[in-house]
Structure 1
Amino acid sequence: MTMQKLLSKARQAIQDFDMIQDNDKIAVGLSGGKDSLTLLHILKNYQRFSPQKFELIAITLNPGGVDNSPLYKLCEDLDVEFHEVQTNIKEIVFDIRKEKNPCSLCANLRRGALNGTAKELGCTKVALGHHKDDAIETFLMSMLYEGRVNCFSPKTVMDKQDLTIIRPMIYIEEYMTKKATREYNYPVIENPCPADGHTNRQNIKELVQRLNKEMPGSKKNIFGALNNPDKLFIWDKEKIK
């Protein structure tokens, strides 16, 4: 039943944003966390009844010293081609650069390695495991930490790389990926990041939880604002003049 609900929401997102076309070769960014593991299972199941025919592979970036052997076994069981890329991202971010706020640099390095590998393997799309809560948190982080209204897109076409980034779980709440992970016993790889749980995103995650508790429905409304471009009004000085 859990997978049926996940597939229903993923299918709606795929259709709403036209994420998948015939003959796509899609690389799932498989970190080994609950979200990417759920995404891989969703797309593997969706592949069986999708009106578009597409290939599916998985790519894991090893930041350094992580045992990803459970992911090899998982992909073998799912009949999904698996590629592990060894990197020195952890060393660069924490040992060489000694970043106090490591998330941005780490994300850029991971993005470059993942997209580059996907292109080398002939992929047309990269699927990422961002979900509904990630979108809400990113939206608020942008406003509160950067002073701008911004969020990642469900689908991003990267013309220079001839690659498209898709996020099929954009309508799925985080509690559902947690439930699926428990129910199907996904082989979660422990997050090796020293900053895990001590980031600005964690602060925003806790803020959203408090807001939704004190103002029921606030999380739903924030997500609704992301999907309501006709009601967007910001102070454009030139237009207001």
Structure 2
Amino acid sequence: MPEHIAVADKKAEKAAYEGNKLTKRLRHHVGDAINDFNMIEAGDRVMVCLSGGKDSFALLDILLGLQKSAPIDFSIVAVNLDQKQPGFPEHVLPAYLESIGVEYRIVEEDTYSIVKRVIPEGKTTCSLCSRLRRGVLYRVAEELGATKIALGHHRDDMLHTLFLNMFYGGKLKSMPPKLVSDNGKHMVIRPLAYCREKDLERYAELRAFPIIPCNLCGSQPNLQRQVVKEMVNDWDKRFPGRVETMFTAMQNVVPSHLADAKLFDFAGLKVGDALAEGDTAFDKEEFTDPRPLDEDGKPRRAFSILDSRAKENACGG
């Protein structure tokens, strides 16, 4: 065999190995998030909001894969909101969804014109656009009988939102993995909560999703979210592991060692009361990882409930 062919075969073999490893990692992250927060239950009808971006494509793809091995039965319907942006390729998503055989609905609502009419030129459109989009999707969820609405926000989105609220909103607040809508009628879930954006980018390339860019908001300069994203990405490059530690911190909140009197009864605190973290007020702080992490920087778990059927089958169960 010629040397150049052997080299090409080795590269192809390595690429296949890395792709399989990435797929398994993302699948486990999604399974763990669903398991940890009880996102999907037996009989659920999950409406996956498909924007045409890499994250929502990955979400749909991974959920369809998990659906086949899950120990519970649930259905999936993909929904895309066509906001009538100029140049939007209307044929792309229907063709893709038809090709994978998933139930879907394309909803046509001209929210683009509303946003452009209401928001002055040069101002960011994200806030109004998201409110309009949310209202339409909630309505469609009712029409479809969806019990869960799945969004494609990932771990990095959650961290960016945390810093946005800290820097600009004066709140310790992020995107929760699971929430109930303001009217109490809808359950929103974020199964990609444990997934890294860079992994989702690689996965989108691996799966060759037909990505559709958002021309409405993606080209806006100096967005606060973009500034925060660049800051976090810079930290990730210069201080490997910092982003993972920050996300772990979101899962290890200590109310007695913050300053929110509504969250912890500081006024009622008395001598003799024991605190979970104890008295470290005068100690020099030394930081260690709060939980053992795997090679991807995520706390180790024994298993995910959504993988149990596959394991049982592999064992002849």
TM-score band, normalised by the shorter chain?
A: over 0.9
Contact 2:78 2:103 in 1 (8 A): yes
123 and 219 in structure 1: CA distance in 2 versus 1, 3 angstrom threshold: same
State the partner residue of 1:154: 177
- Unpaired segments of 5 or more residues in structure 2? 1-19, 268-317
State the partner residue of 1:69: 91
Structure 1 residue 217 corresponds to structure 2 residue 241: yes
Q: How does 1:37-56 map to 2 (within 5 A)?
A: 37-56=57-76
Give identity over the alignment, percent.
Answer: 34
Tell me the distance in 2 between the aligned counterparts of 1:114 and 1:63: 12
Q: Secondary structure at the match of 1:140?
A: helix
Q: Secondary structure at the match of 1:169?
A: coil
What's the offset of the Cα at 1:161?
4.7
Which protein is richer in strand relative to its size? 1
Pick one of 99, 110, 113 that aligns with 1:88. 110
Tell me the distance in 2 between the aligned counterparts of 1:54 and 1:24: 5
Which protein is richer in helix relative to its size? 1
Which residue identity lines up with residue 106 of structure 2 in the other structure? E
TM-score, length-normalised on structure 2? Answer: 0.72
Q: Which has the larger radius of gyration?
A: 2
Contact 1:37 1:186 in 2 (8 A): yes
Tell me the distance in 2 between the aligned counterparts of 1:31 and 1:81: 16
Contact 1:124 1:162 in 2 (8 A): no
Q: Secondary structure at the match of 2:193?
A: coil
Which segment is superposed worse, 54-63 or 191-200? 191-200
Which residue identity lines up with residue 84 of structure 2 in the other structure? G
10 and 46 in structure 1: CA distance in 2 versus 1, 3 angstrom threshold: same
Pick one of 98, 111, 117 that aligns with 2:140. 117
Contact 2:119 2:125 in 1 (8 A): no
Contact 1:60 1:85 in 2 (8 A): yes
After superposition, the C-alpha distances for 1:76-96 in whole angstroms (9 at most, x for unaligned) are 122111111112221111223
- Unpaired segments of 5 or more residues in structure 1? none
What's the offset of the Cα at 1:115?
1.5
After superposition, the C-alpha distances for 1:103-143 in whole angstroms (9 at most, x for unaligned) are 11111111111111111111101000000100110100010
197 and 205 in structure 1: CA distance in 2 versus 1, 3 angstrom threshold: farther
**How many residues are paired up?**
241
Which segment is superposed worse, 111-120 or 30-39? 111-120
Which segment is superposed worse, 125-134 or 193-202? 193-202
After superposition, the C-alpha distances for 1:47-70 in whole angstroms (9 at most, x for unaligned) are 001112111011111111422312
Which segment is superposed worse, 113-122 or 68-77? 68-77
Contact 2:154 2:197 in 1 (8 A): yes
